[in-house]
């Protein structure tokens, strides 16, 4: 499952009003992930900073660093540059 989360956070990019991209929509203030083996609850506390709990550990950093953390857990190499492109993502 962590492999899947790594891929989602590395490739599911939403375009923001400033022209940058993020794995979550621009107006998101909370990220919650619950699986049997992995749990995250993050709250946006600044322009780019997030604070919360990641598998029982305190997290205070940016989403790109959260993605790096996920992918280190999944032991994945970075994806090729062509993976970072606009695409449709269904979220609830």
Short-list 15, 13, 48, CA closest to 29:
48
Q: Is 66 part of any domain?
A: yes
Q: Is 85 part of any domain?
A: no
Mean pLDDT computed over every residue of the chain: 82
Number of independent structural domains in the chain:
1
- As a whole number of angstroms, the distance between CA 84 and CA 78 comes to 11
- As a whole number of angstroms, the distance between CA 5 and CA 3 comes to 6
Query: Would the pLDDT of 33 be above 60?
Result: yes
**pLDDT, tens digit, for every residue of 35-71?**
888 899 999 998 889 999 999 999 999 998 998 888 8
Q: Is 90 part of any domain?
A: no
* Relative orientation angle of helices 2-11 and 63-74, to the nearest 10 degrees: 140
Segments forming the whole domain that contains residue 64: 2-15+24-80
- As a whole number of angstroms, the distance between CA 7 and CA 14 comes to 14
Question: Whole-model pTM?
Answer: 0.74
Short-list 23, 26, 16, 25, CA closest to 70:
23
Q: Is 8 part of any domain?
A: yes
Q: Is 91 part of any domain?
A: no
Query: Would the pLDDT of 92 be above 50?
Result: no
Q: Is 58 part of any domain?
A: yes
Three state DSSP letters for 50-77 = EEEEECCEEEEEEHHHHHHHHHHHHCCC
Q: Is 35 part of any domain?
A: yes
């Amino acid at each position: 499952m962590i492999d899947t989360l790594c891929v989602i956070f590395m490739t599911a990019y939403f375009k923001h009003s400033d022209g940058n991209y993020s794995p979550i929509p621009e107006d998101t203030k909370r990220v919650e992930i619950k699986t049997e083996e992995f749990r995250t609850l993050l709250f946006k506390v600044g322009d780019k900073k997030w604070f919360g709990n990641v598998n029982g550990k305190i997290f205070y950093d940016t989403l790109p660093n959260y993605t790096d953390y996920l992918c280190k857990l999944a032991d994945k190499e970075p994806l090729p540059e062509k993976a970072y492109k606009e695409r449709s993502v269904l979220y609830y």
